[in-house]
Structure 1
Amino acid sequence: MKSTDDAGGNDRRKVRVERALIEKACILFAEKGYAGTSLTDIAEAVGLTRGAVYYYFKNKEALLETIVDEMTVAPLAEITLWRSTASGTVAERLHAFVVQRVRDVLARQTEMRMIEVTEAALPPDLLERHSQAKRQILGEYRSIIKEGILTGEFRPVDDRIAAFGMIGLVNWSAHWYSPDRGPTVDEIANQLAEMAVRSVIGETGRKDRFSNARDAIATLREDLDHLEKLVDDKADRHS
């Protein structure tokens, strides 16, 4: 019985240390870049020797590969699940999709910031995996927007430009969100989702406001500036 308990304890420790290495690697890659970060830097940040790290990851590239896989496999699985359960009008489904994407981005906030810094340095196979995931996410946005245009719920915008605008809106939240102050993740997710839907919705009052997709993106930026101001104001009140 003791050997079984020991094995279970070792497994739990391995998982904890691997997670600590991944989290510290993300922070250091984001701060110093992939090339500027050594395995020794990561080991010291976790309190290990460089040699001990090899028990968990064979090299720095394997650590990076694990991070990239986490950022591609899990989100795509969540999108597949969302697609199988999504219901309601196109606008309601777009809202739900953006909420899901914001939650995912903020759950992987450090990883999102890290990948922006290291993307150009990714090995070709990892870059292709990451690029494929980005294409699938873009494709999901475009598919929803196109459907909304066809049903008349959305204005006849350029679906590609509108999709990129929404992706930027969602991904930028990783740069300014703070879990220690301001709105909650759900509050942010719902407001950003509402902003995304309002940028394409075909309501009469909106048609006069937007003449093309670029106007819609400009409005998204204005709304995001407003949201960031609200975050700062709320934080100031609690400081």
Structure 2
Amino acid sequence: MSTRPPGHAAIVRAARAEFAERGYGATSIRDIAQRAGVSLSALYYYYKGKQDLLVAILDDAQDAYFSSCEQALAEAGEDPAEQLEALVEATVRYRSTHASKSNILLSEERSLEPEHLERYRADNARSTRRFRDIIERGVQDGLFLTPYPDDARRAVIAMCNAVAQWYEPGGALSEDDLVERYVSLALTAVEYRPRAPRRASRTQA
């Protein structure tokens, strides 16, 4: 988890908006200061430059996303299907509610300097492991019948992340309906077979 200086919020909001609208490369530090309504010297008091601001934005997005996932999984119990449902729901809700943060998080990896990039990729790997471990346990337990667990995992992550690029809050599709749809798609991708019907069929046999 990252620590951030007090008084930074307006600057980070301005940087996030500029990066979302222009991209990191096309945004100047002066653009950010003007948007935040602060002097360059005030901005530099908190951050050394654009790279520090990008890292602060990515840290904030990662922290919030990981926190929502951890809470969802803590409430899901031990069943792999329920865990996958919880993780998909947490991801879809975060991507739909925080589209700007998510799009910067997903698109500006190329703008990170090497020392920050290494840590960012380690965080991404941790996120991927969550999905992979759940799907692998589901396959081992006979709940997920997909013969392609790695491909299923990649498909589920990709579709959840893409929500930030197209979903419009307040539109015809509610967030709850979006979550229900994506949970169904994820369980289909892993070829989920519930335990109860399989037990019932064995009893009848």
TM-score interval, normalised by the smaller of the two chains: 0.7 to 0.9
Give the 3 Å change call, closer, same or farther, for CA 192–20 of structure 1 in structure 2.
Answer: farther
Which residue number in structure 2 is paired with residue 190 of structure 1?
180
Query: TM (normalized to structure 2)?
Result: 0.81
Which residue number in structure 1 is paired with residue 81 of structure 2?
91
- Could you tell me whether the CA contact under 8 Å between 2:96 and 2:169 is conserved in 1? no
Q: Runs of at least 4 residues of structure 1 off by over 4 A? A: none
1:203 Cα deviation (Å)? 4.4
2:157 is the alignment partner of 1:157? no
1:143 Cα deviation (Å)? 0.9
Instruction: Point out the more displaced range, 144-153 or 183-192.
Output: 183-192
Identity %: 29
Structure 2: gaps of 5 or more residues: 1-5, 195-205
- Could you tell me whether the CA contact under 8 Å between 1:33 and 1:117 is conserved in 2? no
Distance 1:182 1:126 in 2: 39
2:162 is the alignment partner of 1:178? no
Give the 3 Å change call, closer, same or farther, for CA 70–85 of structure 1 in structure 2.
Answer: same
Q: Residue type matched to 2:127 in 1?
A: I
- Listed one character per residue, the Cα deviations across residues 56-96 of structure 1 (whole Å, up to 9, x for unaligned) are 43322221121121122332333333333322632222111
Query: TM (normalized to structure 1)?
Result: 0.70
1 or 2, which has the higher helix percentage? 1
1:167 Cα deviation (Å)? 0.7
Which residue number in structure 1 is paired with residue 123 of structure 2?
133
- Give the number of aligned pairs: 189
State which of 101, 108, 111 in structure 2 corresponds to 1:118.
108
- Could you tell me whether the CA contact under 8 Å between 1:76 and 1:133 is conserved in 2? no
Name the SS for the 1:152 alignment partner.
coil
1:123 Cα deviation (Å)? 0.9
Equivalences for residues 185-224 of structure 1 within 5 A: 185-203=175-193
- Could you tell me whether the CA contact under 8 Å between 1:119 and 1:127 is conserved in 2? yes
Structure 1: gaps of 5 or more residues: 1-13, 205-239
- Listed one character per residue, the Cα deviations across residues 179-213 of structure 1 (whole Å, up to 9, x for unaligned) are 24232323212221121112222449xxxxxxxxx
Quote the RMSD (CA, aligned, Å): 2.3
